[in-house]
């Protein structure tokens, strides 16, 4: 096999890890609260700025800055839920989607206002790993590994803890769980915090690979939604698999054509699949 194609496939798998992490967070929110956070990737952008400022400006060690960013974005998730989502929980689902879309605009332009449109880099350069003839970026490998650990941790949280089980139960039947004595408001808040924390974790991983700028959310936000829908909105395992399918299309498409064409292919694949399997890849 062509060595560059092989490298593209490896990179696709590594990219899939981060996309899977993003999709997990979004799916968690959707599954439990039944809301699509259109501004999810913008929360990631906020996290990346937090790390940038804490590390590059205030000189915090990168790990501490990352930890602070995870907490910070979790806080943003809670704020988003309290200020935007909870007032319109009862209204048409499309209104909730649009309200978070308004937040997308707000966060993007607020970042432009505060930080300008400069591309900022935290200046941490991790080495490349050489395996035979192929080069693998260490930061991507780290991102992939962390994303997998995050996914497993989330799985354990959802299947082993009381809160996690309550979350899944609410996702299955909103009304009955209220009668069973589960405090829905509290579960929603915690879900928002966990969803935010996952965005923060993704921010930590992405900031090592990409420059931060106010519009970075647009470069991986849409693909994340497509992945979630492809896997079946709210279906975490589906989303996880879809992330790797999409990232392969992007990586291999980028190898044969160009990066834009590869995204076009991914989106067209998404549209066509929506028509063949409207309930997602894993629907029965």
Question: For binding to other proteins (CB under 8 A), which residues are involved?
Answer: 36, 84, 87-88, 91, 93-95, 97-99, 101-113, 116-117, 214, 218, 222, 225-226, 229, 233, 258, 260-261, 263-264, 267-268, 270-271, 274-275, 278
* Angle separating helix axes 184-206 and 40-52, nearest 10 degrees: 60
Q: Which is nearer to other proteins, 183 or 260 (CB)?
A: 260
Q: Which is nearer to other proteins, 42 or 241 (CB)?
A: 42
- Shortest Å distance, C-beta 115 to other proteins: 9
> Cα(71)–Cα(77) distance, rounded to whole angstroms?
10
Q: Which is nearer to other proteins, 135 or 257 (CB)?
A: 257
Please return the burial class of 176, using the count of CB atoms within 10 Å of its CB with bins 0-12, 13-18 and 19+. Answer: exposed
- Shortest Å distance, C-beta 16 to other proteins: 18
- Shortest Å distance, C-beta 147 to other proteins: 23
Q: Which is nearer to other proteins, 19 or 70 (CB)?
A: 19
Q: Which is nearer to other proteins, 252 or 274 (CB)?
A: 274
> Cα(27)–Cα(107) distance, rounded to whole angstroms?
21
- Shortest Å distance, C-beta 236 to other proteins: 17
Q: Which is nearer to other proteins, 97 or 131 (CB)?
A: 97
> Cα(131)–Cα(145) distance, rounded to whole angstroms?
17
Torsion on CA atoms 231, 233, 236, 241, rounded to nearest 10: 10
> Cα(26)–Cα(203) distance, rounded to whole angstroms?
14
Q: Going along 94-249, which residue ranges are E strands?
A: 128-131, 134-137
Largest CA distance in the chain: 61
Listed residue (33, 21, 27, 36) closest to 167, CA to CA: 33
- Shortest Å distance, C-beta 117 to other proteins: 8
- Shortest Å distance, C-beta 100 to other proteins: 8
């Amino acid at each position: 096999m062509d060595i560059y194609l092989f490298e593209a496939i490896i990179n696709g798998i590594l990219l899939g890890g981060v996309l899977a992490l993003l999709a997990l967070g979004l799916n968690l929110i959707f599954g439990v609260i039944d809301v699509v956070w259109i501004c999810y990737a913008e929360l990631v952008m906020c996290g990346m700025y937090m790390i940038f400022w804490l590390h590059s400006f205030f000189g915090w060690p990168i790990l501490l800055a990352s930890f602070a960013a995870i907490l910070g974005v979790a806080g943003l998730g809670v704020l988003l839920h309290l200020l935007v989502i909870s007032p319109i929980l009862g209204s048409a689902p499309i209104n909730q989607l649009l309200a978070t879309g308004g937040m997308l605009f707000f966060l993007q332009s607020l970042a432009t206002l505060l930080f300008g449109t400069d591309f900022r880099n935290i200046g941490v350069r991790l080495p490349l790993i050489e395996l035979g003839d192929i080069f693998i970026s260490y930061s991507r490998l780290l991102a992939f590994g962390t994303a997998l650990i995050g996914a497993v941790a989330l799985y354990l949280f959802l299947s082993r803890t009381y809160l996690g089980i309550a979350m899944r139960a609410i996702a299955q039947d909103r009304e009955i769980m209220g009668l069973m004595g589960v405090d829905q408001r509290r579960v929603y808040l915690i879900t928002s915090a966990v969803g935010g924390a996952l965005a923060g974790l993704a921010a930590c991983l992405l900031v090592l690979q990409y420059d931060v700028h106010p519009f970075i959310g647009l470069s991986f936000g849409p693909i994340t939604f497509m992945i979630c829908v492809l896997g079946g909105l709210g279906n975490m395992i589906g989303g996880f698999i879809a992330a790797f399918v999409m990232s392969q299309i992007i990586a291999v498409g980028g190898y044969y054509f160009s990066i834009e064409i590869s995204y076009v292919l991914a989106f067209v694949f998404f549209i066509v699949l929506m028509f063949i399997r409207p309930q997602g890849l894993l629907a029965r």
